[in-house]
Amino acid sequence: MKIAFPDFKTKLDKKGVKLPANIEKVLSACQSFTCYNTTEELADAATCGKENNEFAVSYDIEGKGTFTEAIVHRVQNGISVNYTEAYMRRRDPGTMVIGDDKPTGKQRFSEKYNYPFSDIQKETFDWLKENDLAVFFYFAGRQGIGSLGIAIAPANAGFFAMGLSMLQEIVAIDELAENSELKSVIYVAPVFRHTHFDGKQVVVHNRLDDIHELYSYNLYPGPSAKKGLYGVLLTQGEKEEWVTAHCSAVQSISPYDIVTTFMHEGASGGGKSELHQHIVRETDGRVLLGKNSVTGETRYITIPRTCNFLPIADDMAFCHPSFQKKNGKLGIMDAENAWFVRVDSVNQYGDDPVLEKATIHPKKPLLFLNIDTKPESTALIWNHIEDEPGKPCPNPRVVLPRESVENTINGSVSVDVRSFGIRTPKCSKEDPTYGIVGLFHVLPPALAWLWRLVAPRGHKNPSIVGTGAMESEGVGSYWPFATGDRIIHANLLLKQIIETPRTIFSLVPNQNIGVWEVGFKPQLLMREYLTRRGGAKLKDDQIQAARCPLLGYELNYLTIESSKIPSRFLKVYNQVEVGTEGYDAGAEVLQEFFNRELKKFMHKDLFHTGRKIIDACLSNASIEEYNQIIPMDYEYSFNNIEDYEQSSYNNGL
């Protein structure tokens, strides 16, 4: 509803909801604003009215004329959006800057742009005042964990507001709880990326004492509506000493009714959304394990019946203190109201029947990004728009509400297996790389922590703008979205790992194992195998210390439902195209990467146990040495970080 500011203010006053000064300054002086109460209303606003089936989101740019940011189509199953620039179809990892002077490990606005943030802040408010605006309230988080916020965007950016209202639950003004406090705000001003930031995506975090302000100077939801508000949750958790993990999660049920809960972490492109995929079979019922990129050989296995699974989380999960049952396992709950699902692996009808069904016949309108559509058509998730002729966009997306996903678990769960995914390139003797990771590896707790500190972004990341080289996303793989101190988060993760000794850790590659192209099959087969074991310990002769110590334990053999996995998929040096020569060269690449990244954490405020683990890594420690710091075989006497820090084992430091 379009509403005058005095009436809006009166409604909030009756609820006991106070507007912070900057918000009141903008809304009281703008041309007009409409307060939206449902996502369906914002879906209508996305095309500037339900009667329109196509709309161009355009702005007048000083010195450049009219620029169209995106074309919006009303389709049978929701709203489809396509950006006019290929650059805007992925998240730029260099988006975040800090506008305040509070402690941070990130670059400040004034350092990057050589003028104070207050200057552009005033210009932003002035620009918003000249426009008709869209306004709505949201809750960043779920089930009471998180905080209330308000979004303020130009009225013609309805699609952006729609996506935000799905990712973070929209709250109708009449349903605001009495005396609610606004803890975050998003100001959306897309013209500034052209006038001030050379066309780049920029999101500024300005952490005031009473509210966390986000300034989104672009219309791609990834760095602001999605990861920007993730930063708000991380900031809250940093103050309250808990983590919002960058992960997906499922509860997997074997054909024998064994239930195992998986939590899969990793940098963007690390396979989080793919954990929710079913294993696709060939027409004859077999499962393609991989294809040799050198010889063209294919390898198949047979699995008579795969596991069923219940989705829990897609990208973010609260590790809140209220979920910890003191049972030695990590407790988590989904932190999102909707999932920002990348569908680049869905290339034709039948690649993911469950997701196809959910997106073709949704319960409510969905938001599609980078999907090739026509007005009034049906958006099909395998029709990816092309960045240029013959080159499909690598980051097609759909915003999928949790309620549109069948059999989701809404409450908290205890994690049995905590895996970490890494995109690996091909590796051979002639071209050695870090693509030496086998189908999956078992990690000691100390190594599991190190992998979360360095969090490699990996090979050909489809989600972000990047060089394609191996880069680090840092602590827990969520560091690009955090606003505070990396050492605080490193300590929180170490504390979490030590205090949950019954949760086991694994490392899983995707895309390539040596010269074999495998896609995301490794993590899906890991899910199948470990579910059938029900958390039972692997036999002593089944694992051995990996040739590269950073990879923990490698598998000597693996059989899934009578299908034996060939050794070359478990130990990459057994591939004739790689050998020990190519493997060892790849291990050096990995060790150099760890050495470079871990030095950033050698700080006086890091837990002594953490410093000891990093020292071990920098000294090329063996698996046994890592296990001496944090034993891999837990004792059922619930550990805590204080015991580790004060023990004589750590010299009382």
Q: What is the mean pLDDT of the chain?
A: 93
Percent of the chain with pLDDT over 90: 86
Provide the pLDDT confidence category of residue 636 given band limits of 50, 70 and 90: very low
**d(C-alpha 401, C-alpha 396), whole Å:** 17
**d(C-alpha 147, C-alpha 318), whole Å:** 13
Instruction: Give the pLDDT of residue 1.
Output: 72
464 - beta bridge partners?
A: 91
Instruction: Give the pLDDT of residue 648.
Output: 39
Instruction: Give the pLDDT of residue 537.
Output: 78
Provide the pLDDT confidence category of residue 42 given band limits of 50, 70 and 90: very high
Instruction: Give the pLDDT of residue 653.
Output: 40
* Tens-place pLDDT, residues 557-604: 999 999 999 999 999 999 999 999 999 999 999 999 999 999 999 999
**d(C-alpha 318, C-alpha 241), whole Å:** 12
Domains of the chain: 5-73+85-240 (3.40.449.10), 244-330+415-651 (3.90.228.20)
Percent of the chain with pLDDT over 70: 95
* Tens-place pLDDT, residues 230-247: 999 999 999 999 999 999
Provide the pLDDT confidence category of residue 639 given band limits of 50, 70 and 90: low
Mean pLDDT, to the nearest integer, of 186-196?
Answer: 97
Residue 465 pLDDT greater than 80, yes or no: no
Instruction: Give the pLDDT of residue 536.
Output: 74
**d(C-alpha 255, C-alpha 291), whole Å:** 28
Mean pLDDT, to the nearest integer, of 638-650?
Answer: 60
Instruction: Give the pLDDT of residue 462.
Output: 66
* Tens-place pLDDT, residues 319-329: 999 999 988 99
Instruction: Give the pLDDT of residue 243.
Output: 96
* Tens-place pLDDT, residues 281-300: 999 999 999 999 999 999 99
Question: What single string gives the DSSP state of each residue in 346-411?
Answer: --STTSSHHHHHHHHS-SS-EEEESB---TTS---TT-BPEEETTEE-S--EEEEEGGGSTT---S
Give me 546's structure tokens: 């990996």
Residue 617 pLDDT greater than 70, yes or no: yes
* Tens-place pLDDT, residues 210-232: 999 999 999 999 999 999 999 99
Instruction: Give the pLDDT of residue 31.
Output: 94
Question: What single string gives the DSSP state of each residue in 472-541?
Answer: B--GGGTGGG--S-HHHHHHHHHHHHHT-TTSEEEEEEEEEETTEEEETHHHHHHHHHHHHHTTPPPPGG
**d(C-alpha 359, C-alpha 404), whole Å:** 8
Instruction: Give the pLDDT of residue 469.
Output: 65
Q: Would you say 465 and 92 are in contact if contact means Cβ atoms under 8 Å apart?
A: yes
Look at 632 and 83; give whichever has higher pLDDT. Answer: 83
Instruction: Give the pLDDT of residue 637.
Output: 44
* Tens-place pLDDT, residues 73-125: 999 999 999 999 999 999 988 899 999 999 999 999 999 999 999 999 999 99
Instruction: Give the pLDDT of residue 638.
Output: 47
Residue 468 pLDDT greater than 70, yes or no: no
Residue 420 pLDDT greater than 90, yes or no: yes
